[in-house]
A = this chain, B = another copy of it.
Amino acid sequence: MNKNAKIVVGVVGASGYVGGELLRYLSGHPEVEIAAMTGSSQQGQAVESLFPNLKGIVEGPLTEADYDALGRSCDLVFSSLPHGISQEPVAQLLKAGARVIDMGADFRLRDAAVYEKWYGLPHQQRDLLAEAVYGMPELHSEQIKTARLVANPGCYPTASLLALLPLKGKLTGTVIVDAKSGVSGAGRSANVGNLFTEVSENFRAYGVGTHRHTPEIEQVIEHKVVFTPHLVPMTRGILATVYASSSIEDLLPHYRNFYADHPFVKVLEDLPCTKAVAGTNFCHLTVRSSSEPGLSVIISAIDNLGKGAAGTAVHNLNLMFGLDPLTGLDRAAVYP
């Protein structure tokens, strides 16, 4: 790649919220050129009418996805296709020569049997599954740099794992992750349950004991986790309240030390809140002791579409192309 040339990227599945958020981040990234935006059902529609915030910033119609052509013309393709749908396109993109960051769940679980159990589908690309790097930069930055295929982590796993990673290998007893998410995590599909009328002034749990992000968290932390997601009447943000016992005594300095070289994870003294990280790739977290000896309460806040999806994907792009990790990701959240 020419030193002055921009990184040519494509966004597959650009009509959803993750796709739109990728376009927003990429439009503010100085080293990137968006060469293609594809959408299946929304094909032909102007991206600035789907995302009115992009008016005058990223414009043009969504096109049909020709994975071979896309893979040949792009340095990197972000695939924002639903799980179960992305395996074949990812294979084609890689074969045509592009590197790929898959935003979905298809390449996150190492064990195809676990994938099949939780997603109810056989895995069609087991070789790629073996090759894929789980794209959590706080864990695998070296492998990400050279990866052809990065499996971008799920939003809940990101919030949960950033709270748990410093305790990995030292956990004792049951870990409970009580997580709360804004509605954008459910995507942009029309659904009565996500209407404003149903969500506003309402709070509820869902997927208790059955959410598909459970095995992803357990795979990384290598410990049993009881995971309960909840729906918050807000658009963006995840706050994970994690109850964990460990052999570590003084947690705050341990967490500070652990994340000292990770620019997107800020260990606070104050309790974090989701609004302070909305629209960004930052994670705010802190730790507290509980009245139960040895049991800590770790609280982490991210933007599910940012650090939980598109922000980490851009962070991974920066790693894959040798850029400063903060490139295109250095702006503060809008507050209030």
Contacts and interface: CB of A to CB of B under 8 A. Distances in A.
Contacts of A292: 174, 224, 226
Contacts of A271: 204-206, 208
How many copies of this chain does one complex carry? 4
Question: In this complex, which of A183, A228, A335 has the most chain B Cβ atoms within 10 angstroms of its Cβ?
Answer: A335
Interface stretch (A72-80, A104-112, A189-197): A189-197
A198 B336 contact: yes
A266 B55 contact: yes
A7 interface: no
A192 B195 CA distance: 8
Given A295-B174, A332-B57, A204 B239 contact: yes
Given A183-B195, A204-B271, A335 B51 contact: yes
A221 to B, nearest CB: 14
Question: In this complex, which of A52, A278, A292, A299 has the most chain B Cβ atoms within 10 angstroms of its Cβ?
Answer: A52
Contact of A197 (B188, B205, B263): B188
A270 interface: yes
A202 interface: yes
Contact of A52 (B194, B241, B270, B279): B270
A203 B263 CA distance: 23
Contacts of A54: 332, 335
A334 B24 contact: yes
Which 10 A-B pairs give the minimum distances between C-beta atoms?
Answer: A52-B276, A53-B335, A204-B273, A190-B190, A53-B333, A202-B275, A279-B334, A197-B336, A196-B199, A178-B178
